[in-house]
Amino acid sequence: MNIKKTAVKSALAVAAAAAALTTHVSAKDFSGAELYTLEEVQYGKFEARMKMAAASGTVSSMFLYQNGSEIADGRPWVEVDIEVLGKNPGSFQSNIITGKAGSQITSEKHHAVSPAADQAFHTYALEWTPNYVRWTVDGKEVRKTEGGQVSNLTGTQGLRFNLWSSESAAWVGQFDESKLPLFQFINWVKVYKYTPGQGEGGSDFTLDWTDNFDTFDGSRWGKGDWTFDGNRVDLTDKNIYSRDGMLILALTRKGQESFNGQVPKDDEPAPKSSSSTPASSSSSAPASSSSVASSSSQQIIPPSSSSATNAIHGIRTTPTVSKDRRSLVNAKGAKVSPNGHKRYRVNFEY
């Protein structure tokens, strides 16, 4: 009997310590945001009209991501990025990330944007096909990658946007919290199916759907509620808003999640929203976050990608990361447990 009591007490002590540790590491001082499509697709063209956020230490992005890439069980990492690094909003970083969690392969390049990404709206686009990935800004090609990593972009990806702060000053600059709050404005999004040679003018893409964000479509979009290692913010649904025909991502101090400013005017009119039935090649992407009272969306809690025990074992203190090793902490969000552990750090360097 004494042995049983001791075992029970030990188990309770471990559980209490784990709970305390989880609470400690998720007590971040800042809040960011991530928006993601609920459906993943294989190949396509993805366009967004945006005015990005920028201040030293921040990342404002649009990217494609295969849900679960961050899980270190041998599965491939599949990701294509557009990232505005706060220390230099006069350019953006393009990137393909392949390999596996803990041993990612990256191919960063930088491209000038004028006017600067945080000073004007631009139309950013990603084209993903079996043979190439292509990046354009305002209709002009800035990069095209054929073969190599492209052949490792297998399966499906969802479209995502996020606004966060990296702890790697070498990558994004020293964080300047005096610039908060910051906002990323998305006027509209268009997603095209991959239809080789059958698109408009013989192109490889046919328009599938458009969202002009007159309202928030909770059947199309999910809102992130997690964090990841190397990120000084918690991503929260409280920092996404649909206002005056604009989708807004915010980066704020914790407890100050709000948007009380004026929505900037985009000289290019927004297209009408349209819907489509998901293609048979689409798959659900449970997770990879507008929050005005009139929003029709509901918070979506993705399924857990690991047990609470594995999450606790994965906790570590992130060392200073040099730029060439930055990808080791560039995960786009470990999935949260629906049983209470909503936010936790995860070790991506196995």
Whole-number Å distance between alpha carbons of 76 and 239? 30
Residue in 34, 83, 127, 257 annotated catalytic:
83
- Is 40 noted as a catalytic residue in this protein? no
Site of tokens 């990232």: 83
Contact by Cβ (8 Å): 281, 158: no
Element (H, E) at 313: helix 308-313
- Is 34 noted as a catalytic residue in this protein? no
Nearest to 48 by CA among 135, 170, 108: 135
Is it true that the peptide bond before 181 is cis, omega within 30 degrees of 0?
A: yes
Cβ count near 173 (within 10 Å)? 18
CA distances from 260 to 16, 63, 182, 198, 250 (A): 40, 27, 12, 45, 11
CA distances from 173 to 48, 85, 323 (A): 26, 8, 11
Q: In Å, how far from its chain's centre is CA 125?
A: 16
C-beta pairs of 275-282 under 8 Å, 24+ apart in sequence? 275/209, 275/220, 276/208, 276/209, 278/39, 279/41, 279/193, 279/208, 281/41, 281/42, 281/156, 282/39, 282/40, 282/41, 282/156
Element (H, E) at 246: strand 246-253
Q: Where are the beta strands (DSSP E) in 66-131?
A: 79-85, 91-100, 103-105, 109-112, 122-128
Whole-number Å distance between alpha carbons of 72 and 157? 18
Element (H, E) at 4: helix 2-25
Site of tokens 């557009």: 82
- Listed in sequence order, the DSSP H helices in 83-228 are 169-172
Q: Which residues are annotated as catalytic? A: 79, 83
